[in-house]
């Protein structure tokens, strides 16, 4: 299989098929990335990410994986969007701000099951930077090294941020408000689910 990097170079030279292949490889992951953070504008943001990617191709050093590079762009696109959206200043602190802060009442319809929605709500309560770290690591299976690249930080820092993000998520899970529309208590479902998942060190569920 042709490497992403090669495809990117070929696309840059005018090989449309290479561009299409590259897009199709990463379309789902990038869509997921925005679905949980800015669902309503997701299509537009996905497009902006790929556009920025094709434009930034020459700046891509090839020092890391293409995926990390692409998620790095997606993160910038997201932050730019939020800054514009909430008219936040240049120094908006994405280590403090959560999706729930930015878009109160944000939809969690992206998740299929009630338990997943519950978890998604928790993810939207923690700082956006932490949400990104957790999602990229667990859903997109980026390595700590790739995470570091995408976030433009040293691997050691990435590791400690991942640890902190997980702590934040654990705490957030206990603060998630119940939704009236939940067919059953999501908390209960979550507890059952966790039991099934042989989770010895499951976080406490009330």
| Minimum gap (Å) between residue 2 Cβ and another protein | 7
Nearer to another protein, 88 or 111 (CB): 111
C-alpha 115/C-alpha 165 separation (Å) is 20
C-alpha 130/C-alpha 199 separation (Å) is 23
| Minimum gap (Å) between residue 107 Cβ and another protein | 11
Residue 164: which of 124, 130, 129 has the closest Cα? 130
- Interacting residues toward another protein by CB under 8 A: 1-5, 11, 16, 19-20, 23-29, 31-32, 35-36, 43, 46-47, 50-51, 54, 62, 64-68, 109-116, 119-120, 134, 138-146, 166, 169-170, 173, 181, 183, 190, 193-194, 197-203
Nearer to another protein, 95 or 170 (CB): 170
C-alpha 67/C-alpha 171 separation (Å) is 30
- Other beta carbons within 10 angstroms of residue 17's beta carbon come to 10
| Minimum gap (Å) between residue 62 Cβ and another protein | 5
Structure tokens at 115: 């338990």
| Minimum gap (Å) between residue 115 Cβ and another protein | 8
Nearer to another protein, 198 or 206 (CB): 198
| Minimum gap (Å) between residue 47 Cβ and another protein | 6
Phi and psi angles of residue 147, each rounded to the nearest 5 degrees, phi first: -55, -45
What torsion do the CA atoms of 195, 196, 199, 203 make, to the nearest 10 degrees? -40
C-alpha 148/C-alpha 156 separation (Å) is 8
């Amino acid at each position: 299989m042709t490497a992403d990097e090669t495809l990117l170079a070929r696309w840059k030279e005018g090989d449309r098929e290479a561009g299409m292949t590259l897009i199709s490889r990463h379309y789902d992951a990038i869509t997921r990335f925005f679905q949980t953070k800015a669902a309503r504008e997701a299509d537009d943001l996905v497009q902006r990410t790929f556009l920025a990617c094709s434009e930034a191709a020459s700046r891509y050093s090839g020092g890391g994986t293409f995926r990390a590079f692409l998620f790095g762009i997606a993160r910038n696109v997201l932050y730019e969007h939020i800054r514009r959206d909430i008219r936040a200043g240049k120094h908006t602190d994405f280590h403090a701000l959560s999706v729930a802060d930015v878009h109160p009442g944000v939809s969690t319809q992206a998740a299929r099951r009630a338990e997943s929605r519950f978890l998604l709500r928790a993810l939207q309560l923690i700082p956006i930077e932490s949400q990104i770290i957790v999602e990229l690591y667990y859903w997109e299976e980026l390595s700590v090294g790739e995470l570091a690249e995408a976030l433009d930080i040293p691997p050691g820092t990435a590791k400690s941020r991942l640890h902190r993000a997980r702590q934040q998520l654990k705490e957030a899970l206990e603060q998630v408000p119940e939704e009236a529309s939940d067919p059953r208590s999501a908390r209960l479902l979550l507890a059952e689910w966790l039991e099934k998942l042989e989770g010895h060190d499951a976080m406490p569920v009330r």
